[in-house]
Chain A
Amino acid sequence: MTVISLENVTKDYGHGRGIFDVSFNVKKGTVYGFLGPNGAGKTTAIRHVMGFSKSQRGIVTVDGLDSWTNASTIQESLGYLPGEVALPENLTGEQFIQMMMDLRKVNDDTRCKKLIEFFELEASGKIKRMSLGMKRKLAIVTAFMHDPDVLVLDEPTSGLDPIMQQRFIDFVKEEKKRGKTILLSSHIFTEVDATCDEISIIKDGHLISSFNKQELLKITEKVFNLTIQNETHFKQLVQKIETNEAIHLLFKNEQTKELQIGCYPSDLSKFIKILADFPVSSFNEIPFSLEKHFMKFYDRRVGGELAWQ
């Protein structure tokens, strides 16, 4: 079942800024990652989901309701974490939490207390005096205090320390297990990598790639590092690999007798059969990272590096 849906949404702010003909669906119980460099249009798309902006073309729906005309109804079961923390500064953290509870008509504060404890929020002081990270935690607590079914997270871990970032990722995974639908925008590969099922890359307002992470894993070349015990076998193996089309030699070091080998999942068993005849002293896989795969999309100039000067 589709929970968040964008259909051919266009919003042109002029000067090439905005989003153009963006379509994607977030299914119930999945985490949808929205990746892209700064200024690519991630926040613009989220504004439309939240009903802050009206699209020039296309339809945005949440739970089947038009997000512009039913904005306030949608918010009942939606938790939003904005990319920029801008809290009312004259309140204390506790007053702000109380205000948000009142506005959301949440009477039970057990979940709120749990969140405060989990994220180690110190809410008693004035918001004006809080550090950026503390404000961020306050925003997290108020975004999820009503246990929403849909979470919209705009660069959620920016401003958090590494421990809290990890804790937040754990939190997102836990919410996913509980069947929550999550839209997460980020430009940090690790958090998208750790949490998302479906991923879209947006650049200059256009969706340039959408894929399922599991499927991507199946079609990507795996890379292995291995060390051979002696020189004779090392040379024999290199020769064998070089003549085999399914296996690719990426790197070799004759002194340490190390090899780096690339191989697609479908040819993996062939590779292992070859290896079985050799005295291998170490063998490990280099974990797949989205970062490597998608760095090419990140560069603003298609097709190449640009020198610093």
Chain B
Amino acid sequence: MINGTIFKQTLRSNVKLWLMFTIVLSILQVVMIAVFDASTLENVGGLVEGTPLAGLLAQTTLLSMLASTFYSIHGVIFPIIFIIMTANSLIASQVDRGSMAYLLSTPTKRSTIIMTQAIYLIMALIVMFLIETVAGIVSIQVFQSDTDIVVSDFVMLNLGLLLLMFAISGISFFFSSYCNLTKNSLAFGAGIPIAFFLFHLLSTVDQSLDVLNYFTINALFDTTAILEGENYWWKLSVLLGIGIVLYIASLEVFKRKDLPL
């Protein structure tokens, strides 16, 4: 099912990129927690009272600040870029360049190759967010020890983000398995996640753009619901479902397609 030799080789050629993104993501998280100061935000809040920005700064807890910054912009776009680059290099670029021929000229099943590569991508995301979460919890203890923070909510934010990334990685991985050319794999595998990200970002800018939220799976990672204790489980389950379906589809499509090797 999973081939250790291929996994080792995949790890060797992709681990540098993963490490870079994990470090950047964790540093961003730590810095944002470290610089948070509730009283400054209150002052700024006073300045923007009555303007559209007021809504953005209305809640001034650490987690709500992170929800509207890290968990909707930085923490989303960085992993998306990582996913786009990695997913393409795992399958489509190897088919496009022809180096996949070497794997397939050994007694290795196509399904084994796909599953091994998929496991790498999923594991990379899980470990990335594990490190980021631990870094976050540690920096909360260090920099915000006097602030009242619900750690379980913080963990849920990260779990939600991980599930969103799992679904998005499914999209990129699917197109990497489906397309024979890197350019096509990137057009869809990068285009769709970035479009989703932008739709979600725009929908938060103004109420008139709220409709865009219906065209993006990023809306299923509902930070407000998580922080205010509303029911968010079904949304996260949908993200999990999307991811699982897309990974299975990737496997089936790769098993059946013609390879120009």
Contacts and interface: CB of A to CB of B under 8 A. Distances in A.
Interface of A: 47, 50-54, 71-73, 75-76, 78-80, 82, 84, 86-88, 90-91, 99-100, 102-105, 142-143
Contacts, number: 75
Contacts of A80: 101, 105
B105 A73 contact: no
A52 B261 contact: yes
A86 B13 contact: no
Contact of A53 (B103, B108, B258): B258
Nearest to A84: B98
B106 interface: yes
Top 5 nearest A-B pairs by Cβ distance?
A86-B98, A103-B106, A102-B5, A80-B105, A52-B259
Interface in B3-22: 3, 5-6, 9, 12-13
A143 B101 CA distance: 11
Contacts of B258: 47, 52-54
Interface in B126-149: none
Given A82-B105, A88-B102, 8 more contacts: A52-B258, A52-B259, A53-B259, A71-B104, A86-B97, A86-B98, A100-B106, A103-B5
Interface in B54-101: 94, 97-99, 101
Nearest to B3: A103
Nearest to B101: A82
21 contacts: A47-B259, A47-B261, A50-B105, A52-B101, A52-B104, A52-B258, A52-B260, A53-B259, A54-B258, A72-B110, A75-B108, A78-B105, A80-B101, A82-B105, A82-B261, A86-B98, A88-B99, A90-B12, A91-B9, A99-B5, A103-B107
B103 to A, nearest CB: 7
B12 A72 contact: no
A86 B260 CA distance: 13
Nearest to B9: A99
B109 interface: yes
B189 to A, nearest CB: 21
B102 A87 contact: yes
Contact of B104 (A75, A76, A87, A143): A75
A75 B107 contact: yes
Contact of B103 (A79, A90, A103): A103
B253 to A, nearest CB: 13
Nearest to B94: A88
A258 B137 CA distance: 98
Residues of B in contact with A, size category: 20 to 34
Given A52-B259, A99-B5, A76 B107 contact: yes
A144 B6 CA distance: 20
Nearest to A103: B106
B107 A72 contact: yes
Nearest to B5: A102
A166 to B, nearest CB: 25
A132 to B, nearest CB: 14
A251 B237 CA distance: 87
Interface string B228-261: 0000000000000000000000000000101111
A80 B110 CA distance: 17
Nearest to A75: B107
Contacts of B105: 50, 75, 78-80, 82, 143
A52 B6 CA distance: 19
A115 to B, nearest CB: 16
Contact of A90 (B13, B107, B261): B13
Contact of B106 (A75, A86, A91): A75
B102 A100 contact: yes
Contacts of B3: 103
B145 to A, nearest CB: 44
Nearest to A51: B104
Contacts of B256: 54
A23 to B, nearest CB: 20
Looking at B6, B105, B258, the one whose CB has the most chain A CB atoms below 10 A away is B105
Given A54-B258, A72-B107, A103 B98 contact: no
A171 to B, nearest CB: 18
Contacts of A82: 98, 101, 105, 261
A222 to B, nearest CB: 43
Contacts of A50: 101, 104-105, 261
